[in-house]
Amino acid sequence: MAINVYILKNSIVKSSVKEYQKMKAELKEQKRMVRQQTKQKQQGKTEKLQEKQESEFTTESVKMKKDLRTVFVADSESADQALALAGISYEGEVNLEDIEFCKVEAQQKCLCGTLHIPKLRDPAGPKIMMYFFVNRKNIVIVDDNGFAEKIIRRIIASRTKPGQSREKFLYNFCVKFMDQDLDNLGRYGQKIMQIEEDINDGELEEVTEKIAQLRKELLILREYYDELHDFGKQLEENENRFFSGKNLEYFGIISDRADRLMGRTMYLLDYIGQIRETYQGKVSEQQNKNMEFLTIISTIFFPLTLITGWYGMNFDNMPELANGYPGVIILSLLVIGIIIFIFKKRKIF
């Protein structure tokens, strides 16, 4: 993938590497001319004229400097080239497969962050992994899945002014990949409520598997939001002083949003825990009914077993030995009738 360049103005302007290098050369030339004019002023040139020229060049230089607040988006293969273009020196190896958490690491010459984002439709599946690097002027994002480009297009399409500063860009970038999370948690809530309705209706098949899967996914999301909360706090600390103090509030908003999402996830985990207890209660109730039924059957047949045991004995002088079969049947039916009458009177069934 070629390196994509985005210049941070009032809105994000997509550029190319050649255009960026040209703008950078023009800025360098403008600075050189400003220094030359300053030197001529010191050598006795007309002060008024020099002040006017210096002011013009200085204004243009400042404008160009703002235009060159730049975001570079590259893949793993072109990461080193993008870092070189951005003037970022990273003390480490860029390997997306090594990313396991959302975190920020402050180095002497840059700020390095990693993002480990679960997919909303399959949190337990493969994650979206990205690096980002920041120095005093530029940002480099390393992404092999095209996710960063997708987010930047959404930022550009928004009605707000997404550029202006690196802090505002990072804020918009994080907000855009978090903006559907609350709706996603709402869908989890609906799934849990559906499971609750199924349990109340006595539909207990596969409930255990559904609860286990939802709980696993929610635990993954909880850990992710906890990492994002720390991620925003670490950016807000501004350890390397790469960010403007007046813009640090943007990172506080990221941290607060992640904290609210984590709170919502904790609520859903508590809810699904209650559903699991309800399910276990229903299963216990069903088992109790089964045991009650078996107990009734055993109670009815126990006296019948006793009667048949007596009349099955082989000994002399057995009562009704010749014509006792009808009597045993009548006796058995009578016993069953008496037991059923007692059960109904005591409301056992």
**Quick one: how far is CA 237 from the chain centroid?**
23
Per-residue model confidence as pLDDT tens digits over 130-179: 999 999 889 999 999 999 999 999 888 886 665 678 899 999 999 999 99
The pLDDT-based confidence of 62 (bands split at 50, 70, 90) is: very low
- What pLDDT score does 215 carry? 94
In the block, tokens 């993938």 appear at 1
- Residue 239 and residue 112 in contact, taking contact as beta carbons nearer than 8 Å: no
Taking every pair of Cα atoms in the chain, the longest distance, rounded to a whole number of angstroms, is: 149
Check residues 146 and 42 and name the one with the higher pLDDT: 146
Q: Are 24 and 68 in contact (CB under 8 A)?
A: yes
Span 288-304, average pLDDT? 80
pLDDT tier at 212, thresholds 50, 70, 90: very high
- Burial code (b: 16+ CB inside 10 Å, e: under 16) for 184-209 equals ebeebeebbeebbebbeeeeeeebee
Residue 317: band (very low, low, confident or very high) from pLDDT cuts 50, 70, 90? low
pLDDT classification of 44: cutoffs 50, 70, 90: low
pLDDT category at 229 given cuts 50, 70, 90 is: very high
pLDDT bin (cut points 50, 70, 90) of residue 319 is low
Higher pLDDT, 324 or 97: 97
Residue 250 has pLDDT above 50, yes or no: yes
Distance CA 281, CA 305 (A): 35
User: Which run of H or E residues covers position 243?
Assistant: none
Stretch 80-103: mean pLDDT: 91
Q: What dihedral do alpha carbons 271, 225, 116, 252 form, nearest 10°? A: 160
Q: Which pLDDT score is estimated for 61?
A: 44
Least confident among 79-93, 155-169, 229-243: 155-169
Query: Where is average pLDDT lowest: 58-62, 73-77, 245-249, 339-343?
Result: 58-62
Separation CA 173–CA 178 (nearest Å): 9
Residue 65 in this model has a pLDDT that exceeds 60:
no
Residue 57: the pLDDT is 46
Cβ-based neighbours of 230, under 8 Å, separated by 6 or more: 102, 103, 255
Split at pLDDT 50, 70, 90, the class of 41 is: low
**Residue listed under structure tokens 């499971």:** 195
What is residue 272's predicted lDDT score, i.e. its pLDDT? 93
Residues composing the chain: 349
According to the model, what pLDDT value does residue 144 have?
93
Tokens of 31: 């600075």
Higher pLDDT, 182 or 287: 182
Name the band, by pLDDT with cuts 50, 70 and 90, for residue 324. Answer: low
* 257-288 per-position pLDDT tens digit: 999 999 999 999 999 999 988 888 888 877 78
- Report d(CA 175, CA 169) in Å as an integer: 10
CA 174 to chain centre: 12
Tell me the two tokens of residue 186.
Answer: 């709402």
Region 25-51: mean pLDDT is 67
Whether the pLDDT of residue 321 is over 80: the answer is no
The helix or strand, by DSSP H or E, that contains position 145, with its residue range, turns out to be none
**Mean pLDDT over the full length of the chain:** 83
Q: What is the residue-wise DSSP string for 92-138?
A: S---GGG--S-EEEE-SS-EEEEEEEEETTEEEEEEEEEEEEE-SSE
